[in-house]
Structure 1
Amino acid sequence: MQSPSSSTVVCTRSSAYARLKSVGVREVQLTSGLLHERFRTNLAAGIPAGWTQLWESHTIPNFYVVSGRRPGEVKGPRYIDSDGYKWLEAACWAYAHAQDDTLKAWIDEFVDVIEAAQEEDGYVNTHFMGERQSLRFTDLDHAHEIYCFGHLTQAAIAHHRVTGESKLLNVARRFAELLYRLFGPEGRWGACGHPEAEMALVELYRETGERRYLELASRMIDARGRKPPVLDGSIYLLDHAPFREQREAVGHAVRALYLYAGATDLYLETGEAALIETLHTLWEDVFTRKAYVTGGLGARYEGEAFGLAYELPNLRAYAETCAAIAGFMWNWRMLQVEPDARYADWMEIALYNGILSGMSLDGRRYFYMNPLESRGGYERSPWFGCACCPPNVHRTLASLPGYLYSLDEQTVYVHFYAGSHLDTRLPNGQPVQIRVQTDYPWSGDIEVQPSPGSYTLALRIPGWAWEAELRINGERLEATPGSYAIVQREWQEGDSVHLSLPMTIELLRANPRIEEDRASAALRRGPVVYCLEQVDLAEGSLLDIYMPEDTSRLRAKHMPALLGGVVAIEGNALLDTVPRESQPLYVPVSRYIPPRHREVRVRWVPYYAWANRGAGAMKVWLPITR
C-alpha cells in the first residue's frame, strides 16, 4: 500500500508492463498559470458547490435514508450514487493540497454514512436497497450497480492514499468480495452495461495486492461479446464482439473509453499482447478519425455515441464533458505503457479545450455537451438530472498535479508545462526536484530548473511546435515536434533549461473527409483552440462571418480583464453584406449572388471560456473564401 505522502492517481509503480511510473499529487505543487487558476477555482468554488448540490439532488440524503439514520425515501436515478462518489474522490485529491478542516469534515461525514449504509454481505447501492432489494443484479445492462461500485472504489482508493485511513477502502473491498463471489471464476459471467469497474478493480489490486480483483477485472472485460450475450449483445453497450476482436470505436462514447482505459490498466499488469494490439487499433480509430479539434469525443446525440469515421458535426456535436475526460484518462494509461508524445498531445488538447470548457470561470456551472457551434440559448447549468459531468470535472482538476510528470528508472518525464514544483525520488532512489516557471499556454517561454544530480530529463515537444528551441545553459539542443527531447547529464547547481515553444496563430484546416468543415478553417494558438462569439462582433451576424483571407494580420493580445485573463486574438474578419435573410433558400446557379465581403473588427477568445458572458452564438469553424 502507498504512503499518504505520495498519493498517486493511477499507481503504476509496481506494474510490470508500465514503462513509466506515477508521481503522487502531493509530490507536485502547481504554482502559477492557467492550470493553477483552474485548479484553485475548483478547490475554492467547484467542490464546495458540488457538496451543496449533492444535498439538494438527494444524493447524500439517500445514504442517510437507507442507513436508517433519517426517515424518507430514496430519490433520483439508478446511478445517482456515482455522482457522490466522484465528488468524494475529488474532495480527497483536493484535501491532499488544501488540508482544509471544513473539507475534511465533509469527507468524514460522507464516508461515515456510506459505511453505515453498507449491508453485511458488502452490498451498497441506495437505489437497490429496501423495497428494491429483489432487483439487485437483475439488469446488468442498465442498472449501473457495478458502475457505481467502480466510482465508490476509486473514491476509496483516493481516500486511503490521501488520508491513510482504511474505513472507505474496507467498504470497497467488502463490495468487491461480493462481486467476486457472484461474477468471479466460481460464479456466473457478469459485467456492467457501463464500464468503469474494470479500471477501479485493477487499481484496487494495485492498492491491496489482492490478485482476485485483477482476475475480476479481466473476467468483466472477457464477458463482453460472448454467445449467448452476457449483456444485450448491442453495439451501444460494447457487447457486440469480444473485446480483443473490436477494431472500431463504436457505441456510447464514455462507456467505450472507460472500457479501453480499463483494458489498458489490465495490460499494464499482464502484458497480454492481444490487449495492446486491440488498444492500438482502437486508438488509431478514435484519434485519427473521430476526435474533434477540441479533444471532444462522441459525435452523436443518439446514444451519446461515436459516429462514423469523419462524422464530426459542429452545431449538433455531442462531445460530452465526460467523454473528453475519459479520453484523457485512456491516453494517460497509454502514455504509461509507452512514452509516445502523441498520447500527451491529445491529453493536452482535451484539457485546454474540451475539459476546461466543461466548467464556468467561477467554477459553479457546467456543460454536459460541448458543441463547436451554437446559435445561442445554450449555457452551463449548476447541476443536471444526470449529473455525471460536474463531479467528473471536479475530480479531474483536483488530481491535475498527478498528471504533469512521470518517472522511469533514471528519467523525469515532463508531460505538461505549468508553473510547478516537483519533489520526488526516482525508482533508483535518486532524489529530484524540478521547478518549472512559465505562463503557458499564453506564453511559450518555459524555464526548467533541475536539482543537482545524475539523471535524465525528457521534455515533451508538442506536435504543433515546429520551431521549438531547447537550450541548456545557452547551448542549443535538438527539439523535434511530437517527441520527447531527452537530456541526460550530471546536473549542476544553477543549470538552466530553457524551452521556447512558438505561440504563432495557426489557421487550421480539417481533413476534407470531415464534410462539415471542408470549406472552413479554425484558429489555434499553442494548444488553445479559439472561437468567435456574437458578443465580440462589432456588427453583423455570426452566420455571415468568414475567416479573413490574410491571417498574418491577426494579433494575439493579453487581456487581463477579459474572461479571467486570457490571450485573445484580434483583427478583421469578412462580413457578407448580401442580405441573406431576404434570399430564397435555393436558387439556380445562374441567379446565385456570391458573398460581397467587407472587413469588420472581431475578437476570438479561447474556446474553453465561451458562454461566460451570456448564452450567445458561437463558432469554432468559419467558412473561408478561397
Structure 2
Amino acid sequence: KLDYLNLACFFIDSRGRGVIGGSPYHVDHKPFRELDEIVGHAVRALYLNCGAADIYAETGDKSLFDALMRLWHSMTERKMYITGGVGSRHEGEAFGEDYELPNARAYAETCAAIASFMWNWRMLLVTGDGRFADIMELALYNGILSGISLDGEHYFYVNPLADRGKHRRQRWFECACCPPNIARLIASLPGYFYSTSEDGIWIHIYAGNTAEIEYKGARITLIQRTDYPWSGDIEVSVNPEKPVEFSLFIRIPGWCGEAQVRVNGERIEDISKRIERGYIRVHRLWESGDKINISLAMPIEKIVSHPRVIENNDRVALKRGPIVYCLEKADNPGFDVWDIILPNDAPLSAHYAPELLGGVVIIRGEGLVINADAFGRRLYARRKDVKYEARRVNFTAIPYYAWANREEGPMTVWLRSPEKLL
C-alpha cells in the first residue's frame, strides 16, 4: 500500500530537521542522504538503515543507496569487532569514534549484531553482493550466537571480547530486548538461507536443511548435507519436480582462499576467475538427483587489527572459517589466559571435540607465559632492570560464541604475539 511507503519515506526524510532534537545520538544531526559516518545508538541506527534499504528496494532512490554504502563502509572498516559485534560504548549503547574498539569494556549489544544481520540481509537482496552475506555470517556465528547460552535459557546483553570471569549470562533483564530478539532470529533463520531473482536461485547460508522453492512454475527441492561450520564440505542435491533450466548462485565466502565446486562429479575449472561478487553461477538444465559438491578450505588463520585499534597492537586472534576463537580458563587451568604469548611460528591444529560444548572444533597450540613475579610488587620499572622469564604451555581455544557456559574464569579473544619475543 502506497501509504506505508510514504510513511517510511517521511521517517527517513525527517532526519536532520531537528524533529527529534538534532542529536547525532538520534541520527538527527544531518539529512539521511548526507550521512557519511555511522553514529548514535547502535541498534536504532541500524534499524533505521534497514528502513532506508527497504525504501531503496521499492523506489531505486540511488541517493539512499549511496548513503547506505557510506555507512556500511564506516561500520565494517572502522567500527566493527572481529566478531561482527558493533556499538562499542556503554554510554548510550552507541557507536564510538573510528577504531574505538576496546575488548574488556566492549558493549557490542546482542541486539546490535542482530540489527547488523538484518541490515546486511537487505543490502544483499538489493545488490547480490556476497560482502553483505559475509557480514551476516560473521555476526551470526560470533556476535549473535554468543548472546544465548547452550541451554537456551540464559542471555548476554553485552558481549565483551575479554573478561576476568565475572561477566555471566542472565535469565532475564529489566530491559529485555535481547532474549526475544535472538529467539526471533534463530526461529526465522530458514528464511535467510536462500533467495530468488530473475536470474536464478541463490544459496547464502550453509547448514543442513531441506527447502522447497517455487521457481519458473516448478517446485524445486534443495537438500544441503554438511557439518558446516566445522567442515567446509557441502553437498547440495537439486530436485526439481520436472527438468527446468535456471542458474544456481553458490556463495564462496570472502574468508575462503581456496574453493572447489563439482557438479555431478565434474569439477568447475578456474573457479577463482568465475567468482562474481562472492558467488559462482552454475547455469544448466537441472534434473532431479543432480548434485553439487562444494569444498571450502578452512585453515586456521591469525588475524590482526588495523594499527589504530590500540588495544590490539602486537596481538592476533584465531579464526577458522567463519568462527572466531577465544581462550578460556576452563580449558587452560594452568595459567592466566590474559598472560599468554603466541609465537609467530607456533604450531596450531584443529580437532573436533564431540563431547565439548555440544560438539565443536577446537584449536590446540603452544604458547609462552611470562612469569609476572619478576616484577615483584612494582607497577612500573625501567625496561633494563627487568629480566623476563617465560615458560612454554599448551593451550586450547574454543569458539567465542561458546564461552561462559562453564565455570567462571578469564577469557580473551586477542592474544599477544609480538614480532620480537622477550
TM-score in terms of structure 2 length: 0.95
Counterpart for residue 368 of structure 1 = 157
Counterpart for residue 400 of structure 2 = 607
How far 1:581 moved relative to its partner? 6.3
Q: 2:262 aligns with which of 468, 471, 475?
A: 471
Deviation string 1:537-558 (CA, Å, 9 cap, x unpaired) is 141212221124324x222111
Matches of 2:331 and 2:357 in 1, distance apart?
Answer: 12
Q: 1:257 aligns with which of 43, 46, 52?
A: 46
How far 1:377 moved relative to its partner? 0.8
Matches of 1:219 and 1:625 in 2, distance apart?
Answer: 52
Give yes or no for the alignment of 1:434 onto 2:227.
no
Matches of 1:306 and 1:613 in 2, distance apart?
Answer: 31
Matches of 2:251 and 2:63 in 1, distance apart?
Answer: 29
Give yes or no for the alignment of 1:489 onto 2:306.
no
Q: Secondary structure at the match of 2:24?
A: coil
How far 1:598 moved relative to its partner? 2.3
Matches of 2:158 and 2:144 in 1, distance apart?
Answer: 11
Matches of 2:208 and 2:264 in 1, distance apart?
Answer: 20
Question: Which residues in structure 2 correspond to 1:266-345 (within 5 Å)?
Answer: 266-345=55-134
Q: Secondary structure at the match of 1:399?
A: helix
Counterpart for residue 554 of structure 1 = 348
Q: 1:264 to 1:249 in 2, by over 3 A?
A: same
Question: Which residues in structure 2 correspond to 1:116-135 (within 5 Å)?
Answer: none
Q: Which amino acid aligns with 1:425?
A: E
Question: Which residues in structure 2 correspond to 1:1-400 (within 5 Å)?
Answer: 210-226=1-17, 229-400=18-189
How far 1:580 moved relative to its partner? 5.5
Give yes or no for the alignment of 1:532 onto 2:311.
no
Counterpart for residue 506 of structure 1 = 301
- Aligned 8 A contact 1:538 1:601 in 2: no
Q: Secondary structure at the match of 1:604?
A: strand
Matches of 2:338 and 2:313 in 1, distance apart?
Answer: 17
Q: 1:620 aligns with which of 406, 413, 416?
A: 413
Question: Which residues in structure 2 correspond to 1:513-592 (within 5 Å)?
Answer: 513-551=308-346, 553-579=347-373, 582-592=376-386
- Aligned 8 A contact 2:262 2:294 in 1: yes
How far 1:240 moved relative to its partner? 0.8
Q: Which amino acid aligns with 2:271?
A: A
Deviation string 1:346-391 (CA, Å, 9 cap, x unpaired) is 0000000000000000000000000000011110000101111001
Q: Secondary structure at the match of 1:496?
A: strand
Q: Which amino acid aligns with 1:495?
A: D
- Aligned 8 A contact 1:315 1:373 in 2: yes
How far 1:247 moved relative to its partner? 0.8
More helix by share: 1
- Aligned 8 A contact 2:336 2:410 in 1: no
How far 1:453 moved relative to its partner? 2.3
- Aligned 8 A contact 1:358 1:367 in 2: yes
How far 1:410 moved relative to its partner? 4.2
Q: Secondary structure at the match of 1:326?
A: helix
Deviation string 1:284-321 (CA, Å, 9 cap, x unpaired) is 11111111110000111111111111111101111000
- Aligned 8 A contact 2:374 2:386 in 1: no
- Aligned 8 A contact 2:315 2:415 in 1: yes
Q: Secondary structure at the match of 2:39?
A: coil
Give yes or no for the alignment of 1:412 onto 2:201.
yes
Matches of 1:593 and 1:369 in 2, distance apart?
Answer: 39
Matches of 2:298 and 2:61 in 1, distance apart?
Answer: 41
Q: 1:580 to 1:293 in 2, by over 3 A?
A: farther
Counterpart for residue 446 of structure 1 = 234
Q: 1:455 aligns with which of 241, 246, 249?
A: 246
- Aligned 8 A contact 1:232 1:239 in 2: yes
How far 1:494 moved relative to its partner? 3.1
Q: Which has the higher contact order (CA 8 A, sep 6+)?
A: 1
Q: Secondary structure at the match of 2:25?
A: coil
Q: Secondary structure at the match of 2:184?
A: helix
Deviation string 1:515-534 (CA, Å, 9 cap, x unpaired) is 11121001011100000001
Moved >3 Å (runs of 4+): 478-482
Matches of 1:239 and 1:614 in 2, distance apart?
Answer: 44
Matches of 2:287 and 2:377 in 1, distance apart?
Answer: 71
Counterpart for residue 106 of structure 1 = none
Q: Secondary structure at the match of 1:367?
A: coil
- Aligned 8 A contact 1:538 1:602 in 2: no
Q: Compare 553-562 and 288-297 and name the one that shifted more.
A: 553-562
How far 1:572 moved relative to its partner? 1.7
Q: Which amino acid aligns with 2:255?
A: W
Matches of 1:567 and 1:438 in 2, distance apart?
Answer: 14
Counterpart for residue 188 of structure 1 = none
How far 1:569 moved relative to its partner? 1.0
Matches of 1:219 and 1:380 in 2, distance apart?
Answer: 39
- Aligned 8 A contact 1:461 1:479 in 2: no
Q: Which amino acid aligns with 1:436?
A: Q
- Aligned 8 A contact 1:473 1:495 in 2: yes
Matches of 2:100 and 2:372 in 1, distance apart?
Answer: 31
Any stretches of 5+ residues in structure 2 without a counterpart?
none
Root-mean-square deviation (Å) = 1.4
Counterpart for residue 125 of structure 1 = none
How far 1:251 moved relative to its partner? 1.1
Q: Which amino acid aligns with 2:194?
A: Y
Matches of 1:372 and 1:520 in 2, distance apart?
Answer: 13
Q: Which amino acid aligns with 1:585?
A: L
Matches of 1:479 and 1:256 in 2, distance apart?
Answer: 38
Matches of 1:540 and 1:416 in 2, distance apart?
Answer: 38
- Aligned 8 A contact 1:379 1:614 in 2: no
How far 1:493 moved relative to its partner? 3.5
Q: Percent identity?
A: 52
Deviation string 1:113-164 (CA, Å, 9 cap, x unpaired) is xxxxxxxxxxxxxxxxxxxxxxxxxxxxxxxxxxxxxxxxxxxxxxxxxxxx
Q: Secondary structure at the match of 1:435?
A: strand
Q: Which amino acid aligns with 1:623?
A: R
Q: Secondary structure at the match of 1:236?
A: helix
Q: 1:581 to 1:405 in 2, by over 3 A?
A: farther
Q: Secondary structure at the match of 1:337?
A: helix
Q: Secondary structure at the match of 1:448?
A: strand
Q: 1:243 to 1:410 in 2, by over 3 A?
A: closer
- Aligned 8 A contact 2:5 2:55 in 1: yes
Q: Which amino acid aligns with 1:558?
A: Y
